[in-house]
Structure 1
Amino acid sequence: MAATVQDRTGPSSDRIWLASYPPGTPAEIPPLAYESIGDALVHYCQKYADRPAFISMGKALSFRELEAQSARIGAWLQSRGLVKGDRVAVMMPNILQNPVTVYGILRAGFTVVNVNPLYTPRELEHQLNDSGAKVLFVLENFAHTVQQAIGRTGVKDVVVCSMGDMLGLKGLVVNVIVRKVKKLVPAWSLPGHHPFSSVMAKAAGLTLGDKTVARTDIAFLQYTGGTTGVSKGAMLTHANLLSNMEQMGLWLETAFLGRQRPERMVFLCALPLYHIFALTVNSLAGLLTGATNILIANPRDIPALVKDMATYRVNVFPGLNTLFNALMNNPDFQKIDFSNLALTFGGGMSVQRPVAERWHKMTGCPIAEGYGLSETSPVATANRLDATEFTGTIGMPIPSTYVDIRDDDGRSLPVGDVGEICIRGPQVMAGYWQRPDETARAMTADGFFRTGDIGFMDERGLVKIVDRKKDMILVSGFNVFPNEVEEVAMTMPGILECAAIGIPDEHSGEAVKLFVVRRDADLTEAAVKAHCADNLTNYKRPRYIEFRNELPKSNVGKILRRELRP
């Protein structure tokens, strides 16, 4: 339980946000009921045994099966001679093998290292070596990347799975289509690897040994995107994740204030499970609530995603701005019956007001924006889930969480003043893996995590981000925040997506450049500049406009401004 901040006059000292909490929502989460995520898994798998926990490509995996299959993975890993705390890497998209493997690793007393399957060999090599991973689970589609990096790492065992491994007879057809028809599996060679199906068969005769896992043990090394330098592993303990799971559980209940709560909720899991957002908000929150997660292996295939949304009566949809935007531009999406959609939860990047307003009009469900980072497991703030309109803020601190706005010298700022958003709570990481210097820079003496995001808190306790420190543009001594420029531009019907950056300028130091993806092919540079001139003061207006067919994005769909910089 977080302690009250002493001798400070900032917004966290009197927790002004509590007055804005939904009725009945406690200020603190209760004491944790479980010692580990594995203990929680066993409990909820018994409680919801016959319900489907995950559905992938039409194949359901029940909670009972999730418990049994994850025990097999855990037992096999123990048989490989690993010791408690050893790291096991998982390089898979959203397929059934992902949660089975991840929960198996945790139950066996090991640490999960989530790996983006789209990493280059260089990025993969860094993460495997930095984490010291001993075992790697990978989907065969990405085995060619592993082949190029594995010889320069300390990985001893590689387990290779196929898309159809857990789909029964249908899996044979799926594998033929993936390998032969769509040709999505480049040639690879990993001598001595273990096929996933063989691992599961061998593990049938093994028993999961009792490994005492403490709440302070590291459950995940969740690597940051490396936007502030080399990619670092945030050490997330079992207590961190269990706390955020409880925080999300309490907050999720507020989505059903004044309405009938579904007997069994259905979550759409379109964001990748190797990303902290989906890991907690989909997988762990789904475990807690007995929900079914519909796994989307390729969210970039919008027509297929829309088809899945139409098939399953989704109640909870965690997503991000670019995904919402892409869906609304699909004609079939507009035909879906959204009457069961109780919650759309936006995170990962700022949700733009024009996108939120269009989503609300199209689906009848407002977007509730939240905020967090890998270092905060991730959720730290969220809007009320019973809200009837988009607030344009990232909401208020969730139970047991403190947010303080501080200046460059670490002093708390009054309500309304802009400064760095700092967070303290049971979900804040234990530090960066083997980087005490980075940990010291990120954490304050009184236990707050410095997010690097700039924002302010209003009198209701709602937090508004104005931007990342590193993304701020300095024009003739004036600060320009890219989010503001982009949000104004996005109100133009002819713009599909945009991104603003600062570029060197001999007269003003920096000037604003706006990259635009057209919705209307006839949109001109003059029209965009005129629109911005009508809505932005002079120094904030884009001086340069560049039209592109697409913008660079992370695998989660977040627009990467850094890749647009010269």
Structure 2
Amino acid sequence: MPPRKTIYLPTKDYAFPDIDILTLIYDSPESYTTESTILHAEAAQPSNAITKAQARIYTKRLAWLFKHVFSIGANGPGKDVVVCISSGQILLSSVFYGVIGAGGVFSAASSSFTAGELARQIKQGRSSVVVCSEDCRDVAVKAAKDCGLPLSRVLVLQSMGGKRDLRSVEGESTNWLDGREEEWQRKGELLQWEKITDKKMLKERVVCLLYSSGTTGIPKGVNISHQNLVSEGIIPQYQIREYLARRRHKEPSYKFEYRTIGHLPAAHIAGCQGYFVNPSIAGGPVYWMPKFDFPKFLEYNKKFRITHFFSVPPIYLLIAKSPLVTDQFQSLAHVVAGAAPMGAELQAMAEKKLGCQISQTWGLSETTGSVTAMPWDEKDDTGSVSPLLPNVRMRIVDDEENDVEDGQEGEFIMQGPMVTTGYWDNEVATREAFTKDGEWFKTGDVGVCRGGKFYIVDRKKELIKYKGLQVAPAELEALLLSHNLILDAAVIGVPDPSGSGNELPRAYVVADTSKISEAEIKAFVKDNLAQHKQLRGGVIYLDAIPKSPSGKILRRELREMAKKERVAGQAKM
């Protein structure tokens, strides 16, 4: 008799169109925009903006450029990768859609990357073109040189401050964005994207790579397809539109206008899906900040009467505790929290300051973002990450992939149109990410279902999350072990004592303190890894790293050690 399966279902499913992501954004009535709708604007200079009509032209122009000048798509669709490393800009979405329109794959890289980290991503995707913002130019150039990529194939994009400039770092001095639609049309320098309706092609063709660090420490490129982007963009919108219809039935004069603020990195799923895709379907602009700045974030929320945004627990902590917050959020209708679970206490504090409801959501890069969502007219104050989104299926299983009893904790495994088909050029990782029958994606998150709502209680994977960004312990360990004065090392995440919900990377090392100090170890990491990967949790010296007979680090012992230190510290207070 086969094992019992308990499959958790949403309250309903939606039929969504079989179309490619570009057609959905630019040519479908499913997107609540007109030709004159402003899609992207610079928060510091809002006159610097592009409408839907202008965005379509820039997309076709960039698609032509990538295809005919840089040969993206020459090896067939879904094979040629363009890496983009940039701070927030209003034409980033046009680069994203332009790469896809050319038949290429948009590979998002964090603007905080070092040259070594960027070079690794270029090599993994065998990328032949890099697009960067001016502030990332030096890193892009160094990485390109490390990879043997000609600097003529490193393009600097400038679209803030009213600029419209895209040109190679070296060689060709042409500004590829200099010109008008009529001129580009006359010369045949606009490219119409391929319109796709075939279900299999929509599901399987890779158009975007978002990198997710595994417990091995080797970042993996998550394959994101047309279907992934379309379903993740439109299914939550259907749910919101139904809420708005219910609200207007009760209050005929009620009006909702979508306006959001781009304050999170565009290289991660919250920014990529959340700024390139979702707002253009919802029908309103993204006001872009190059990087997060809390006082300006407050200023722009008030100035542009922001009605909706997604953010992460550390920013909600700032909102909850900062005396700077007064009347900046009066226009907010609803906000969402994700990237890490947020305690019910912090949620309540932040809601009081915001004056609106916060809904928690849960998802991964591998699920193209959210797979749970709270309907806007339902409230939860228990700390759950909400019920399932429509079209999602969930099971909760033990280590042998057997379903646990109702109310018991286990690993969340799932199905849905937004779930990736696997990892870029990595069959082993793809196979390991799914159940033995290949049917269910294993999220690595451990949780429980109560009353139709889901609660995250732990992560099976050993990733550390700092400000919503992933830190792989093994990557830090590999770097530390490369130092000739460090004999052994292990890294875990420890809770931020401020109560922000962040985990701080802490290193346990076997080393001689008279030869290498904690400050020197931290400086070594700072010189080699991105800002969010720093050893904010400190450095602890040990005689030996606890390991199993097979050589695996016993992180549970290190966590217990850290917990005892915290308890001892609190007892002394």
TM-score interval for Structure 1 and Structure 2 normalised by the shorter chain = 0.7 to 0.9
Deviates more, 1:207-216 or 1:84-93: 207-216
* Structure 1 equivalent of residue 13 of structure 2: 28
Task: Tell me whether 1:333 sits opposite 2:319 in the alignment.
Answer: no
What CA deviation, in whole Å up to 9, does each residue of 1:45-89 have, x standing for no partner?
Answer: 895211111111312211111111111111111212222331111
Cα displacement (A) at 1:333: 2.4
Which residue of structure 2 aligns with residue 3 of structure 1? none
1:208 corresponding residue in structure 2: 191
- Residue in 2 aligned with 1:562? none
Displacement after TM superposition at 1:331 (Å): 3.0
Structure 1 runs, 4 residues or longer, greater than 6 Å off: 500-506
Question: Which letter maps to 1:282?
Answer: Y
User: What are the residue-to-residue correspondences of 1:14-93 with 2, within 5 Å?
Assistant: 15=9, 17-18=10-11, 27-34=12-19, 36-44=20-28, 47-56=33-42, 57=44, 58=46, 59-80=48-69, 81-82=71-72, 83=74, 84-85=77-78, 86-93=80-87
Q: Are the counterparts in 2 of residues 405 and 413 from structure 1 also a CA contact under 8 Å? A: yes
Letter in 1 for 2:160: G
Q: What is the Cα deviation at residue 470 of structure 1?
A: 4.2
Task: Give 3-state SS (helix, strand or coil) of 1:404's partner.
Answer: strand
Q: 1:457 to 1:500 in 2, by over 3 A?
A: farther
* 1:308 alignment partner, SS class: helix
Structure 1 unaligned spans of 5+ = 1-5, 19-26, 172-188, 474-481, 515-538, 547-566
How far 1:192 moved relative to its partner? 2.5
Q: Which amino acid aligns with 2:360?
A: E
For residues 109-144 of structure 1, the C-alpha deviation after alignment (integer angstroms, 9 at most, x for no partner) is 211111111111111011011011121110011111
The equivalent of 2:567 in structure 1 is 543
Match of 1:144 among 138, 148, 151: 138
1:319-345 deviation digits (Å, cap 9, x = unpaired): 01011112344433223252x211110
What residue in structure 2 maps to residue 464 of structure 1?
455
Write the letter of the residue equivalent to 2:57.
A
Matched with 1:230 is 218
Q: Distance in 2 between matches of 1:238 and 1:360?
A: 35
Shift of 1:207: 2.3
State the shift of 1:268 in Å. Answer: 2.1
Q: What CA deviation, in whole Å up to 9, does each residue of 1:211-255 have, x standing for no partner? A: 455413111011114554200001111111111112221233355
Secondary structure of the residue aligned to 2:431 is helix
**Is 2:123 the partner of 1:129?**
yes
Query: 1:497 and 1:448 mapped to 2: Cα distance?
Result: 29
Q: Distance in 2 between matches of 1:113 and 1:220?
A: 6
1:421 counterpart residue number: 412
CA distance in 1, matches of 2:158, 2:415: 41
Say if 1:329 and 1:227 are closer, same or farther in 2 by CA, change over 3 A: farther
CA distance in 1, matches of 2:396, 2:372: 13
Q: 1:89–1:136: 8 Å Cα contact kept in structure 2?
A: yes
Q: Give the SS at the match of 1:397.
A: coil
Counterpart-to-counterpart distance in 1, 2:23 and 2:272: 17
Question: By how many angstroms is 1:307 displaced?
Answer: 0.9
Equivalent residue in structure 2 for 1:269, among 259, 262, 267: 262
Mapped partners of 2:160, 2:352: distance in 1: 38
Given the superposition, is the C-alpha separation of residues 30 and 334 from structure 1 closer, same or farther in structure 2, using an over 3 Å criterion?
same
Letter aligned with residue 292 of structure 1 = P
Q: Secondary structure at the match of 1:390?
A: coil
126-135 or 271-280, which moves further after superposition? 271-280
Q: In 2, distance between residues paired with 1:501 and 1:132?
A: 30
Relative to structure 1, is the Cα distance of residues 212 and 240 closer, same or farther in structure 2, using a 3 angstrom cutoff?
same
* Preserved CA contact (<8 Å) 1:73 1:200: no
- Shift in Å, 1:381: 1.4
Residue type at the aligned position of 1:221: L
The answer (yes or no) to whether the contact 1:11–1:461 under 8 Å persists in 2 is no
Aligned-pair CA distance for 1:96: 0.8
Change (3 A) 1:231 1:127: same
String of CA shifts for 1:188-225, please: whole Å, max 9, x gaps: x9433666x44444983412155455413111011114
Structure-2 separation of matches of 1:129 and 1:367? 40
Q: Can you give the 5+ residue segments of structure 2 that lack an aligned partner in the other structure?
A: 465-491, 509-541, 547-555
1:298 aligns with 2:264: no
Which residue in 2 is equivalent to 1:400? 391
Alpha-carbon separation, structure 2, partners of 1:511 and 1:41: 46
Deviation at 1:399, TM superposition (A): 0.9
Q: Distance in 2 between matches of 1:498 and 1:337?
A: 24
Distance 1:446 1:466 in 2: 25
Residues of 1 paired with 2:449 and 2:206: CA distance?
32
1:259-308 deviations in Å (ceiling 9; x for gaps): 66645311222212221122223331212121211212211x11111111
Corresponding residue for 2:481?
none
For residues 328 and 416 of structure 1, what CA distance do their matches in structure 2 show?
32
TM-score (norm 2): 0.74
What one-letter code is carried by the residue in structure 2 that aligns with 1:158? Answer: V
Match of 2:476 in 1: none
Distance 1:387 1:451 in 2: 26
Distance 1:308 1:446 in 2: 46
Task: Output aligned runs, 1:136-535, within 5 Å.
Answer: 136-153=130-147, 155=149, 157-162=153-158, 164=160, 166-167=162-163, 190-192=169-171, 197-201=175-179, 204=184, 205=187, 206-211=189-194, 214-215=201-202, 216-226=204-214, 228-253=216-241, 256=244, 257-258=246-247, 262-299=255-292, 301-338=293-330, 340-444=331-435, 445-458=437-450, 460-471=451-462, 499=503, 509-510=557-558, 512=560
Q: TM-score, normalised by structure 1?
A: 0.75
Are the aligned partners of 1:359 and 1:366 in contact in 2 as well (CA < 8 Å)?
Answer: no
Aligned-pair CA distance for 1:387: 2.4
The residue identity in structure 1 corresponding to 2:345 is P
- The letter of the residue matching 1:465 is I
Q: Which residue in the other structure is 1:477 paired with? A: none
- 2: CA distance, partners of 1:128 / 1:447: 31
Distance in 2 (alpha carbons) for counterparts of 1:292 and 1:164:
15
Change (3 A) 1:165 1:365: closer
Q: 1:10 to 1:282 in 2, by over 3 A?
A: farther
Contact in 1 for aligned 2:313/2:500 (Cα 8 Å):
no
Give the Cα separation in 1 of the matches to 2:502 and 2:301.
27
Distance in 2, matches of 1:29 and 1:105, equals 29
Three-state SS of the structure 1 residue aligned to 2:326 is: helix
Query: How far is 1:498 from its partner?
Result: 6.0
Deviations 1:427-480 (A, max 9, x none): 11111011100111001115211111111112x22111111124599xxxxxxx
